[in-house]
Structure 1
Amino acid sequence: MKPIRRPAATPTPAAPRRAGAPGLTGAPLDYTYDGTFEGLLTVLFSIYESKSPPNSVQPEGTAQTGLFAQPAHRETDEALAARVWEGLLRTMDNEARTRLYHVFLSEDADRELLIFRYVDLALRSPVDVAENYANADVRRVQRLAQMMFREKHRMEAFVRFEKTSDELFHATIEPDMDVLPLIAAHFTKRYADQRWLIYDRRRHYGLYYDLTRTDIVQFENPTGRKATDISATVLDEREPLFKHLWQAYFDHVNIPERRNLKLHRRHMPLRYWKYLSEKQPREVRFEPIKNKQAVVGKEVSAGQKLLPPQ
C-alpha cells in the first residue's frame, strides 16, 4: 500500500510591514493651532516634517506654556490636512480614523496629545492597533468614542423644537460634547420639509437648515436671558397648545405603578430636562378622560338607560 502524499501547505505570506514614521529626534516643541480639526491635522504633519515631538498641542487662544517657552504656531493648511486625513487610512481602517475625529469633538483636555500618540503608535506598529486594548491610549480613544456615540444618540432623541411666527423650528441644546457636526445629517434627513435651527448654547453656534442645505451659523454670547427663553413675541401663537399636547401625551402614556426614577434618570439624565417640554411645569394639569354620566333630572331619550349617580 502506497503512502498517501499530501500536498505541501502553501506558506501564508507575511503581512507587509509598514514603512513607519520618521524618528522624532528634534527638540520638543509647544505647538499651537487655531482650534479646528484641520488645524490639528496640519500640526501632525509639521511634527513629522520637522521631526520635533510635541511637548504640548493647544488651541492658540488658550495655550499655556512655560515661562521661557516660545509656542510654535502652525497655520491651518487645508491641503496638508486633507493629505494627512487620507494618509491615515494606510495605517488604520476608516472606523478607527473616524474615532479620532470623535475624540477631537469630545473636547477632552488631553485630546490633541492623545490623537498624536494614537497616530504615532499606528505608524510604528506592523499590525492594526485598533484592538490593542493593552495600550492605555487605545483604551482611552475607544472610551471617548463610545461616550460621543451616546451623547449623539441622546441629542437625536431629546431635541425639542419650538415653532416661531415665521415658520422656523428652533431648539436649544447644551451637550457635554460638541455633537452638532455628528447630528446634522440625522436632522437634515428627518426634517427635510421644514426650516429649523439647533443652537448649542454652550459653544455659541448652531445648525441652520433652509430647505435646501444645512449650514453652520455663529452666534454672539447672549447675556441677560435664561437658557431656554425665547421671546414670546416671536413664537407661533399655537406653540403653547403644542407644548400642552406634548405634555398631555407624556402624562397619558405614563404608568404610575411602574415608576422607576433611577432607571428614568439613567436613560434621560437630569442635565437634559431643562430643554424638554415634558419636564417643564404644567400650566394646565392633565386630566384623564372620564366616562360620561347621565345627569339626573334631565330628559332621557327612548331606549337610553339612566346610570345611577356615583
Structure 2
Amino acid sequence: MNQQHTILKYDGSFDGFLCCVFAVFEQKLLHPIIRKESEIDQELFTTTEIIVTEHLKAQRVWKSFKTKISKRQHTNLFKAFLSEIKGVENTLLKYIQYIFQQHKTTAINYSNKDILTINQVAKMVGREKHRMEAFVRFQLTKDNIYVATVSPDFNVLPLITSHFKDRYADQKWLIFDTKRNYGIYYNLRIVEIITFDSFTTIDADHYNEKEIDFQKLWNVYYQHVNIESRKNTKLHLQHLPKRYWKYLTEKIDI
C-alpha cells in the first residue's frame, strides 16, 4: 500500500521554509515533502498544503534550533538553504528533525549523511560568497549611486550584505543579482531588498562623467603592471576563473 505524502508549498524564503518545519512538527507529519510554490508536483498519492509565511513561527523554530547547535552549524544550514539546490529543503528538514530528536546538545555527527551533505554544500556557498566579495566592481551612476550587477551560482546576497555595508558605509550602493532579479541597496542608513521587473547592466549613458575616465585609467594601470614575461595563464585562471571576468573593470575593453 502506498503511503500518502504531504507536499508543503512555500514562497521560497528562509522564513517560509522554517514555517514548513513548524507545520511538520505541529501536524506530526510522517512523510512531508517541502517545495517552493514555483515547483511542479508530479507524484501520485499526495496532498498539497500551502504554507503561509509567518515571522513569529519562523523565529520560534530558528531560536529553538540555534540553542541545540553551534553558531557554525546553524550558519551552515542557512548557507545550504541559499544554495537553491533542488530538494535541499528536505535534506535540511531531516537534519533539523535529527537535532530535535537529541535529548541534549551533542557534538556534530559527521557520519550522518544529511549533516555531511549540508556541510559540503555550505562550503561551496561559502566559496562563492568570498568570490563575490572579492570580484564585485561598482560603477558610479549620474545619481551618485555605486551600482554592481552579479549572477552568482548561489543566492549569496544575504551573506555579503554586512561586508559591503561595513566597507562602503559612506556611499550609496546597489548590488543587483540578475539571475534572481533582486538586489540589496544601501541608502547610508540601512540595507533594503529591492526588485525590478528588468535589470541587466548599467548603460554607459547612465555613468557619472568621472566613471568612464576612471575605468580607462584603471585599465591602463592593469595593463602596465601585468608583465607579459611573467604571465601564467593556468595559475591566473585557477585564482580568477573566467566566469568572474565579466565583473572586472580590468577585463573589459573600454
Structure 2-normalised TM-score?
0.92
How far apart, in 2, do the equivalents of 1:127 and 1:250 lie? 56
RMSD between superposed Cα atoms in Å = 1.9
One-letter code aligned to 2:212: P
2:218 aligned with 1:246: yes
Unaligned 5+ segments in structure 1 are 1-25, 284-310
**Equivalent residue in structure 1 for 2:160, among 180, 183, 189:** 183
CA contact (8 A) 1:151 1:179 kept: yes
Counterpart position of 2:183? 206
Unaligned 5+ segments in structure 2 are none
2:126 aligned with 1:149: yes
1:143-183 Cα shifts (integer Å, max 9, x gaps): 11111111111111101111111211111111001111111
CA contact (8 A) 2:34 2:90 kept: yes
How far apart, in 2, do the equivalents of 1:182 and 1:262 lie? 29
Deviation at 1:196, TM superposition (A): 0.9
One-letter code aligned to 1:135: N
2:99 aligned with 1:99: no
1:108-257 maps to which residues of 2 (within 5 A)?
Answer: 108-125=85-102, 131-222=108-199, 227-228=200-201, 230-257=202-229
Mark the CA change 1:130 to 1:137 in structure 2 (over 3 Å): closer, same or farther: farther
**Aligned-residue identity in percent:** 40
CA contact (8 A) 1:27 1:52 kept: no
Deviation at 1:63, TM superposition (A): 3.6
- Matched residue of 1:262: which SS? helix
Counterpart position of 1:278? 250
One-letter code aligned to 2:113: A
Deviation at 1:129, TM superposition (A): 6.3
**Equivalent residue in structure 2 for 1:263, among 211, 235, 246:** 235
Higher relative contact order (CA 8 A, sep 6+): 2
CA contact (8 A) 2:15 2:58 kept: yes
Which structure is larger by alpha-carbon Rg, 1 or 2? Answer: 1
- Matched residue of 2:173: which SS? strand
1:255-295 Cα shifts (integer Å, max 9, x gaps): 323322222112211111112111112x4xxxxxxxxxxxx
How far apart, in 2, do the equivalents of 1:183 and 1:259 lie? 31
Deviation at 1:213, TM superposition (A): 1.4
The number of residue pairs the alignment matches comes to 252
Counterpart position of 2:60? 83
1:161-217 Cα shifts (integer Å, max 9, x gaps): 111112111111110011111111111111111111111100111111111111111
Deviation at 1:68, TM superposition (A): 5.2
The runs of at least 4 consecutive aligned structure 1 residues that moved more than 6 Å come to none
Larger helix fraction of residues: 2
